[in-house]
């Protein structure tokens, strides 16, 4: 009972919640027990708390205190660290976008033991020339390593990143630390691949419920796309929403059109300058603009709770992509809708894009076939 009280006390003091969501407690207790794990919770299911809370619970005397969190995006880790600090959690990050002074401050916090959660990118942790950094961390003492967006390690996942494969060496190098993989979307095959690639030992595998009764899903055959978009907006006047498009050109054109119609909308895609992208993202998160028109470059780590609709103008490349992107709606538990406007030409377009970028893999074909079945 004492351990339970300690967890609830940490949860209430730093986040203001009175109880855990499904599987959060099991995931936290697995980390505290020192056992490896793979945790799959839907977008909005509270993955981050699963590795943030145990970092604040004291271990047995003589155990290490530092938790290392692997995060794929600098903007995402910055947002998380800023939020943690605002809640009184001693956290820091190390990334290439920081000034020398910021890096020195974070390093000092780790060295003197005041930092409990250190966020790093996979490149910083296992990239070229990172051996000295890992040795430095071993000397500081690492309690556990949590890998966020862990589906990126699997070639069967929906966002495979080769540098994630190198994270498997951490299990051998940080022998006293447990390893934990977190993701919002992972099939059985992907979960098994994650565990194998990371070298996890008898991991606890926790898969949360993906049924979110507050979300209504609609698949609409594409006809007059602009009129179909207006119909969705009319159901949500003045409310927050995300509209995903397949190309940057479509994003820019639709954002301009919506603004001309009086909708507070901004574009977001990788072709915009970094400062513009960050400004647009901040405007959406801070509720200064209600509609974001974007490619899939937008969304990872976005935790605005009151998104009332997510509309896809064109099919995503896999059901896992769609589940993650659509799942950004209704994180506050209130009724929200997810609308997919699709046409047969979307699949031909994806096949052409994939072939031109190096050829379709078996995984690509499988994902597109599943998406076709869903959209038909």
Residue 63: predicted pLDDT: 59
Q: Specify the pTM.
A: 0.78
Among 21, 53, 213, residue whose Cα is nearest residue 146: 53
Sole residue written with tokens 């070639």: 155
The pLDDT value given to residue 64: 62
The pLDDT assigned to 319 comes to 87
Q: Exposure of 227 by Cβ count < 10 A (0-12 exposed, 13-18 middle, 19+ buried)?
A: exposed
Rounded to the nearest 5 degrees, what angle is found at the Cα of 284, between the Cα atoms of 86 and 101?
A: 45
pLDDT of residue 2: 42
Q: In degrees rounded to 5, what are phi and psi of residue 122?
A: -60, -35
DSSP one-letter code for 153: G
- How high is the mean pLDDT of the chain? 89
**Three-state DSSP class for residue 113:** coil
**Up-side HSE of residue 100: CA atoms within 13 Å toward CB?**
0
- The number of C-alpha atoms within 13 Å of 354 and in the hemisphere containing its C-beta is 19
| pLDDT for the residue 106 | 92
- 243/291 Cα distance (integer angstroms): 7
Asked whether residue 158 carries a pLDDT value surpassing 70, the answer given is no
Does residue 79 carry a pLDDT above 90? no
pLDDT recorded at residue 359: 75
pLDDT score of 276 more than 50: yes
pLDDT at 238 > cutoff 50: yes
Q: Assign 62 a pLDDT band (cuts: 50, 70, 90).
A: low
Residue 293: per-residue pLDDT? 96
In the DSSP assignment, the letter for residue 257 is: H
**Listed range (149-158, 210-219, 240-249, 294-303) with the worst mean pLDDT:** 294-303
- pLDDT at 255 > cutoff 90: yes
Dihedral sign computed on CA atoms, order 51, 53, 58, 59? negative
pLDDT surpassing 50 at residue 269: yes
Task: Report the alpha-carbon distance of residue 241 to residue 266 in Å, rounded.
Answer: 11
The span from the CA of 95 to the CA of 115, in Å, is 16
Query: Does residue 138 register a pLDDT over 50?
Result: yes
- Contact of 229 with 208, CB cutoff 8 Å: no
The predicted-structure confidence for 6-25, as pLDDT tens digits, reads as follows: 899 999 999 988 889 889 99
| Other residues' Cβ atoms within 10 Å of the Cβ of residue 116 | 21
Q: How far is CA 233 from CA 44, 100, 285, in A?
A: 23, 45, 19
**Does the structure show a pLDDT above 80 at 299?**
no
pLDDT of residue 180: 97
Residue 58 pLDDT class (50, 70, 90 cuts): confident
Longest dimension (CA), the chain: 66
pLDDT score of 226 more than 80: yes
Determine the average pLDDT of the residues in 322-343: 92
Please, what sign has the CA dihedral across residues 104, 174, 119, 243? Answer: positive
Work out the average pLDDT over 328-350: 93
Q: Which residue has the tokens 């709770």?
A: 305
Give residue 207's pLDDT: 93
Q: For residue 240, give the DSSP letter.
A: E
Confidence of residue 203 (pLDDT cuts 50, 70, 90): very high
* Cα–Cα–Cα angle for 216, 221, 225, rounded to 5 degrees: 95
Q: Which of 289, 283, 281, 279 is nearest to 241 (CA)?
A: 289
Residue 210: predicted pLDDT: 77
The answer to whether 11 touches 53, Cβ cutoff 8 Å, is yes
Dihedrals phi, psi of 285, to nearest 5 degrees: -60, -40
**Alpha-helix runs per DSSP H in the chain:** 2-15, 24-33, 47-52, 74-86, 100-111, 122-126, 131-140, 162-165, 170-173, 188-198, 225-234, 248-260, 274-285, 319-326, 344-356, 362-375
What token pair was written down for 127? 């990239």
């Amino acid at each position: 009972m004492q351990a339970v009280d300690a967890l609830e006390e940490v949860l209430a003091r730093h986040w203001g919640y009175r109880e855990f969501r499904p599987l959060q407690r099991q995931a936290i207790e697995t980390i505290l027990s020192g056992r490896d794990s793979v945790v799959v919770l839907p977008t909005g299911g509270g993955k981050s708390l699963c590795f943030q809370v145990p970092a604040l619970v004291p271990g047995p005397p003589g155990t290490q205190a530092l938790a290392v969190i692997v995060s794929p995006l600098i903007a995402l880790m910055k947002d998380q660290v800023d939020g943690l600090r605002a809640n009184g959690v001693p956290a820091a990050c190390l990334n290439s976008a920081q000034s020398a002074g910021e890096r020195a401050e974070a390093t000092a916090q780790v060295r003197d033991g005041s930092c409990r959660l250190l966020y790093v990118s996979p490149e910083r942790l296992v990239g070229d020339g990172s051996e000295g950094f890992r040795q430095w961390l071993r000397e500081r003492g690492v309690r556990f390593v949590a890998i966020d967006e862990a589906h990126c390690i699997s070639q069967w996942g929906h966002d495979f990143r080769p540098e994630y494969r190198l994270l498997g060496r951490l299990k051998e190098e940080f022998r006293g630390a447990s390893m934990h993989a977190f993701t919002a979307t992972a099939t059985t095959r992907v979960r098994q691949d994650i565990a194998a690639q990371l070298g996890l030992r008898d991991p606890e595998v926790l898969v949360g419920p993906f049924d979110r009764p507050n979300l209504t899903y609609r698949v609409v055959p594409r006809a007059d796309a602009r009129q179909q978009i207006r119909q969705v907006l009319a159901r949500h006047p003045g409310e927050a929403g995300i509209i995903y498009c397949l190309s940057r050109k479509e994003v820019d054109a639709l954002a301009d059109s919506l603004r001309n119609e009086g909708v507070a909308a901004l574009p977001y895609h990788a072709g915009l300058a970094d400062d513009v992208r960050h400004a647009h993202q901040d405007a959406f998160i801070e509720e200064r603009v209600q509609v974001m028109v974007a490619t899939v470059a937008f969304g990872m780590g976005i935790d605005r709770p009151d998104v009332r609709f997510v509309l896809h103008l064109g099919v995503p490349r896999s059901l896992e992509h769609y589940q993650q992107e659509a799942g950004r709606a209704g994180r506050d538990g209130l009724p929200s809708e997810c609308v997919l406007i699709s046409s047969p030409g979307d699949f031909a377009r994806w096949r052409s894009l994939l072939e031109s970028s190096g050829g379709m893999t078996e995984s690509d074909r499988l994902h597109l076939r599943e998406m076709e079945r869903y959209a038909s």
